[in-house]
Structure 1
C-alpha cells in the first residue's frame, strides 16, 4: 500500500525524515545512474517497511554500492529491525528495495535465511552479493543496539516496567497535590469569589483534558513508547525542534518545583520548631533548608521510579491528610470576626499584579503533566493491553483525590479567613498547636516524596547526556556524583531565594502553563491534524489561548512579589 503522507518505521520515526539522507547517499553512490524517485511502502500486516529507489533506465548498476547504501540507510534508521535488500529489473526500470522487518513485533517477518544478511538479487540470479560486508555492518549495529539496551536498562525512566495502575494513581497524586494546595486560599483572596471559583474549576477540567491527551499519545505509534516528554515533542515537532521546545520548559518546571519544595520543606520544619520550642533561640530558615536537603542526599540514590513507589505512596497519603487538616481546622476555627472578602491590595496596580500572581498559584497546583509520560513508562504494555488503560484509571483516581483536596481547602480557607489569609494557610492556623505541628510534618513528608518524583526525570536527562553523549560508563559512582550535585544546586538556590509565594507565581506561570495547559494541545494538533472548526480543533485552540494568556500574565505578578519581598531580605541572614 503506497502511503503519500504518513509512513512510519517501527521505532516511530517518520519515513520521510530519512528521505534526505537516502537521496543524498544514493546520488553520491550512483552518480552515473541518476536517482529518479523514492517510493515508500508499509505493509502493516507483516510489520514491513520498504524503500524502493527507482533509477532511470539504461546502463548497469554497481551492486556492491547498493549493498553499501542499504547498510548506511539501515544504520541511520537505528530501529530494532532486520534488513533485507532486493535489486529487481522490471520494464526498463531498476528497482532497489530495502525492506525493514520489525524484530520486536509480530511473527510475519522474513525467513531465517534472510534475517542476518543483506541480499541483492536481479532477474535470473538468487546469489547474495556483498554478504561479508553486510554481515560485518549488521554485527556492528547489533552491538550498538545491545549497548543501547544496556543503557536503557540502567537509566531511571526505562529500567523498570512492572508498575500497577495504583502506582500511577499515587504517583500522580504526589506530583499534583503539593505545596500548591496550601496557597489556594491566598490565591482566592486575590481572585475573588467569582473569578476564583471559575478559574479553579476551569483549570481542573483543562488539565484533566490535556493529561488525557498525553496518556493517549504515549503509544500512538505501534511498537513505540514515548517514555519522556521530550520524546513526544520530538515526534510532534521534529528531532531538534522538539528538544528545543520541550526540554527547557520541562527542566524549568522540574528543577523549579524541587527548588520550591526545598523552601517549603525547610519552612515547614521551621514552623514545627517555632511551635514546639517557643522559648528557644530562633534558628534561621537556611539551616532548616539544609536539614531538609540532607534527606535527599540519601534518597536521591534510589535508582528508578518504582524504587521510590513506597515514598510516593506515603507522600500521597500525607497530601490528603494535611489538606484535610487544613480545611477541617479552618471549619473548627470558624469564620473570623473581621473577615473581609474585598480587595486586599491598597492600589489598583497592586490588585492587578496580585491577580496575575494568583493565576500562577493556581497553575502551580496542577503541575503533574511534567512527569506523566515518565510515570506511564513504568507500566507494562502489550498490543492487547496497552499501558494507557491502567494509566488512565490511575489518573482518574488521582484527579478525584485532587478535587477532594483542592476545592475544600481553597473555598473553606478563603471563607474563614478572607483577605487576611496567609500565602500558606497553615500559617493562618495558629491553634491547636499539636494539629499545626502534625500538618507541617505531613507537609515535610509529602514534599520529600514530591521532590524525588520531580527529580527522577532530571536525573534521567543528566545521566542520558553523561552516558550517551559524553560516553561515561554507567556506574554507581557516576550516579552518586551527578545526583549529589543536583541536590546541592537546588538546596543552594532555595537558600538564596526563599520567596515562597513569589516563587509559586513565577514558576507556575512561566513554566507550568506551557507544559500543562497548551503544549499537549499543540502536539495533538500537530500529530492528528483535526479538521478546522471541528470540536477537537476548537477545544484545543481554546486551551492554547487560555494557556498562553496564563503564561504571559502570571510571571509578571510573581516577579513583582519576589522583588517586593527581596527588598527586605538579606541574603544568607
Structure 2
C-alpha cells in the first residue's frame, strides 16, 4: 500500500514522528526548514503538514482583505463626534497600538521558541500554551461572543444598505423632498432567510468563491465611499466640520456628547479588531522565521489599512461635517446608480462575511454536542438528497444541524430587528473584542514567552498599555450601551422611518 505524506512521518504508535529516518531526511534537505519530501513526492513542513508557501506579501494581502470591511463606513461619524484634532489622533493611536501588539503576537506562533518551537495553528492554542488552560477558556468565550455579535452587526449593516438603495431610487423618481419611508425589518428578514439556506452547507470551504467575491466587494464600496466623499467635499457651500466635533447645547446634550464620543471609540476599535485571525494567517507563511515575515506583513498591512481608513474618514467628514451619517454611504443620494451599486456591494460582501464569522460558531457547538453525547445518535441523523442530472452530486441534510443553525439565524435576526442601530452595535462589538484579543493576550503571551522580569521597564510599559486600552474599551462599551438605551426611547422597531 502506498504511504501518504502523513503516514510517512508516523511512528509505531500512529503519532507524528519527526525523528523517523533522520539520515535520509538530512540528505534530502539543506536546512530543517526547506521541507521534508514524502514518498508520494509532496514536500512537508516540520510538523508533517503540506509545505506552506506564503510569504510576507501574501500575509499582507490576507490582513488587508480581512480588515477592510463595514467598519470603515462608521469612521466619518466617529470623526464628527471627536472633531478634527482628536479624531485623527485617536484613529492613529489605535493603528499604532494594533501594529505594536501584532508584533508581539507574531512571536507567539511558535512555542516555546519563536523560531524553532512547536506551531500553534489557531489563536486559542497560542493562549493555552503561553498562558493557561483557564485563559484558553476565557479567550474562547470572548472570541466566540465577538463572532456572535459581529453576525448581528452585519445583519443590521446589510439592512441599512438595502434601505439606502430603496430611498435612493425613491428620491431619484419622486424628488428629494419625498418622504420615502422604508423599514429595515423586512430586509433583515430576507437576509435571515438567505443565511438559513447558506448555513446548511456543512463546510464553508465549498463556498470559497463567495469569500473572494466578498473581499472584492469590500474594496469596491470603500473606494466608492472615498470618491463620493471627495466629490461632495469639493462642492463647497457646507460645513467642513469643527475642531471639537458635534457641539454641546446646539446639537446634543452634554451627556449625549460623552456617550457618542465613547461609542466612537468603540467604532474605531471595531475597525482594528482583527488580531484573532493573525495566528491563522501566520500559519500560511513558509519557514524559516515566520515571525519576522509576519512582523513585516503587519507593518505593511496596518499602514496601508490606516492610510485607507484615514482617507475615507477625512473625506466623509469634509463632505458632511458634524452631520456625518453613521453609515457613510447612506448619506449620498447622487449619482443614484453609483450609490446603489456601492450599497449592493455591501449587501453581497456581508452575505459572505456573515458565514465566515458564523461557521466557526456552528462547528464549535456541533463538536461540543458530539463529544457531550457520544452515545446518542440524534446529532448525526439526517437524509441524503441526490441531485438529478448526469453528475452524482449529493447533499446531506443533518436534522440537528438544520434545527440548530436555523434557530441561531432566527435569534440573531430577531435581535437585529430589535436593535437596528449600526454604530452602537459596532461600538459594543469593537470595544468588547479590542482590549482582550488585540492587547491583553498578546501582551501576556509575549511576557510569558520572553520571561519579562516583573517591574522592569518593559513589564511596566506593557501593563500600562494594557490598562489604558482596557479603560478605552470600557468607555466604548458604556457609550454604545447608553446610546442604544437612548435610541430605544425614540425608535420603534418594525416601523418605517
**CA displacement, residues 285-307 of structure 1 (integer Å, 9 cap, x when unaligned):** 11101222333223334555654
Match of 2:85 among 194, 205, 211: 194
In structure 1, the partner of 2:124 is 230
Instruction: Work out the CA distance in 1 between the residues paired with 2:441 and 2:117.
Output: 24
Tell me by how many angstroms 1:284 deviates: 2.5
Instruction: Work out the CA distance in 1 between the residues paired with 2:206 and 2:300.
Output: 22
Tell me by how many angstroms 1:207 deviates: 1.2
**CA displacement, residues 444-478 of structure 1 (integer Å, 9 cap, x when unaligned):** 12222322222232233212212233336685514
In structure 2, the partner of 1:362 is 268
In structure 2, the partner of 1:518 is 440
Match of 1:287 among 183, 186, 192: 186
Distance 1:303-1:559 versus aligned 2 partners, 3 A rule: same
SS in 2 for 1:217: coil
Aligned residue runs from structure 1 range 140-539, under 5 A: 164=54, 169=60, 171-221=62-112, 224-243=118-137, 245-277=138-170, 282-304=181-203, 306-334=205-233, 335-341=236-242, 342-346=245-249, 347-376=253-282, 379=284, 384-385=287-288, 395=298, 398-471=301-374, 477=398, 478-532=400-454, 536-539=458-461
The answer (yes or no) to whether the contact 2:269–2:430 under 8 Å persists in 1 is yes
The answer (yes or no) to whether the contact 2:168–2:333 under 8 Å persists in 1 is no
**CA displacement, residues 317-342 of structure 1 (integer Å, 9 cap, x when unaligned):** 22222121112111111244234414
Distance 1:319-1:527 versus aligned 2 partners, 3 A rule: same
Distance 1:512-1:209 versus aligned 2 partners, 3 A rule: same
Tell me by how many angstroms 1:234 deviates: 2.3
Tell me by how many angstroms 1:311 deviates: 2.3
* Structure 1 spans left out of the alignment, 5+ residues: 1-79, 84-100, 110-158
In structure 2, the partner of 1:559 is 481
The answer (yes or no) to whether the contact 2:84–2:241 under 8 Å persists in 1 is no
Tell me by how many angstroms 1:209 deviates: 2.5
* Structure 2 spans left out of the alignment, 5+ residues: 1-9, 23-48, 175-179, 381-395
Distance 1:329-1:390 versus aligned 2 partners, 3 A rule: same
Give me the TM-score of the superposition, normalised by structure 2: 0.75
Give me the TM-score of the superposition, normalised by structure 1: 0.66
Instruction: Work out the CA distance in 1 between the residues paired with 2:254 and 2:222.
Output: 32
Q: How much is the aligned-residue C-alpha RMSD, in angstroms?
A: 3.2
In structure 2, the partner of 1:46 is none
CA radius of gyration, larger in: 1
Distance 1:372-1:258 versus aligned 2 partners, 3 A rule: farther
The answer (yes or no) to whether the contact 2:65–2:215 under 8 Å persists in 1 is yes
**CA displacement, residues 33-86 of structure 1 (integer Å, 9 cap, x when unaligned):** xxxxxxxxxxxxxxxxxxxxxxxxxxxxxxxxxxxxxxxxxxxxxxx9878xxx
